[in-house]
C-alpha cells in the first residue's frame, strides 16, 4: 500500500479588489452654478464734461454761405448742411481750405469741432461732426 503523505494545507483565500458600483440615472442633469447677481456701476475714467453755452455770432461775424444763407451758430450750420447742395459745400470746404472750420474756430470758439470739420470730406460727415459737438452744449 502506498504511503500517503499527509500535509496540513490550509485553504488560501485571495484578496480581490471590490468593484465600485455607480448608479447612473437615466438622464444626467447638468450642474447649475449659482451666481450672486450684483449691480455693477460703471466708473468713468473721464471727468464729467461741463456743458457749454451755445455761442451766437452777431451780424458782422455771421457766416455768409455762397447760396445766400446766413449762419450764426452751430445749430444753423447743422440745418444748412442738411439742405446744402454738394457744390456749395465743396466751394466752402473743398481743397486745402475749410471756411466752416475757420469760422467755427474763430467766431464760435469751438476748436475741437473745427479740427474735426477740417477732416470731414463730405457734407454728411461734416453734419455728423456738428451734431456730435452740439451735444456738448446746453439746450
pLDDT digits (tens, 9 = 90+) for 32-50: 666 666 666 665 565 566 8
Report if residue 51 sits inside a domain: no
Task: Give the range of the structural domain holding residue 89, as residue numbers without chain letter.
Answer: 64-134
Angle between helical axes of 111-119 and 99-106 (0-180°, round to 10): 170
Q: How confident is the model at residue 52 (pLDDT cuts 50, 70, 90)?
A: confident
Report if residue 104 sits inside a domain: yes
Report if residue 139 sits inside a domain: no
* Residue the block writes with cell 480581490: 16
Report if residue 84 sits inside a domain: yes
Q: Structural domain tally of the chain?
A: 1
**3-class SS letters over 26-63:** CCCCCCCCCCCCCCCCCCCCCCCCCCECCCCCCCCCCE
**34's torsion region: left (phi>0), alpha (psi -120 to 50) or beta?**
beta
pTM above 0.85, yes or no: no
pLDDT digits (tens, 9 = 90+) for 89-121: 999 998 888 999 999 999 999 999 999 999 999
Report if residue 111 sits inside a domain: yes
Q: With contact defined as beta carbons under 8 Å apart, do 63 and 57 qualify? A: yes
Residue, of 86 and 1, whose pLDDT is higher: 86
Amino acid at each position: 500500500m502506498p504511503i500517503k503523505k499527509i500535509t496540513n494545507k490550509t485553504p488560501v483565500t485571495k484578496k480581490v479588489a471590490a468593484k465600485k458600483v455607480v448608479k447612473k440615472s437615466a438622464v444626467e442633469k447638468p450642474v447649475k452654478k449659482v451666481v450672486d447677481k450684483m449691480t455693477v456701476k460703471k466708473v468713468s475714467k473721464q471727468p464729467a464734461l461741463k456743458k457749454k453755452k451755445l455761442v451766437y455770432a452777431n451780424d458782422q461775424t455771421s457766416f455768409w454761405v455762397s447760396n445766400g444763407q446766413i449762419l450764426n451758430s452751430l445749430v444753423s450750420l447743422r440745418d444748412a448742411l442738411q439742405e446744402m447742395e454738394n457744390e456749395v459745400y465743396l466751394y466752402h470746404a473743398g481743397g486745402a481750405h475749410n471756411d466752416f472750420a475757420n469760422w467755427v474756430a474763430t467766431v464760435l470758439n469751438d476748436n475741437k469741432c473745427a479740427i474735426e470739420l477740417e477732416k470731414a470730406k463730405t457734407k454728411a460727415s461734416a453734419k455728423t461732426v456738428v451734431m456730435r459737438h452740439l451735444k456738448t452744449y446746453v439746450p
